[in-house]
Amino acid sequence: MTDKETASQLTRALLKRQISFDKFVEEFPEDENDKDIFDLFDLIEHEPGKTGIFGVSVSRHKNHMDFVYDLIYKLDPVPDLIGGAKTLFYTDIDSRHEKTDKTKHFIGGQQVNDISCLAICEYDNESGYYLFGCDSDWSTITDTFHDKIEDAKEQAESEYKNTIETWRQK
């Protein structure tokens, strides 16, 4: 794994609360010559709080996090194809989202709880769109089929609150 991929993966894990800030700092690549890696660390280290005495407005915090995700995806881009389908929209599932438990997915009788990312994709030979639930490497775990992109986004929002605000177009 390259330093860029490592920086991206560690940041994603931190934002998903899968690792501590201390582990993040300990394992983060120390390449001061790579401006993107340096800037990503700086943005995380100086993430402003949301509201309160020392916090910033929700919209300003969202802008800060948009810069963070711009760098994450620049350092380790989302694949053009996921599950063999063209990637149209994508989002990580992290602290910006809230799992609603309105939908439960099962594989082999076991409930799936470890979705890290969502992607809306289309196959060349089909007329609809798939909402894929993916692991952190963008491998598909779950899928639902939808006639329209908007329907896929609504399904995602019903499963993970606030995804409507975090979709990125490929």
Q: What is the pLDDT of residues 4-14, one digit of tens each?
A: 999 999 999 99
Average pLDDT score over residue span 130-158: 95
pLDDT bucket at 93, cuts 50 / 70 / 90: very high
Instruction: Find the angle CA(144)-CA(145)-CA(150) to the nearest 5 degrees.
Output: 100
**28 to 10, 13, 130: CA distances (angstroms):** 7, 12, 34
> What pTM value is reported for the model?
0.84
Average pLDDT score over residue span 89-105: 90
Instruction: Find the angle CA(102)-CA(104)-CA(115) to the nearest 5 degrees.
Output: 105
Q: Which residue has the higher pLDDT, 49 or 170?
A: 170
The 8-class DSSP code of residue 126 comes to -
Sequence spans of domains, the chain: 3-75, 81-169
pLDDT tens digits for range 25-49? 999 998 878 999 999 999 999 887 7
Identify the pLDDT of residue 103: 85
Contacts of residues 27-34 at CB distance under 8 Å and 24 or more positions apart, as own/partner, are 29/3, 31/3, 34/3, 34/4
User: Is a pLDDT exceeding 70 seen at residue 98?
Assistant: yes
User: Is a pLDDT exceeding 70 seen at residue 52?
Assistant: no
pLDDT bucket at 108, cuts 50 / 70 / 90: confident
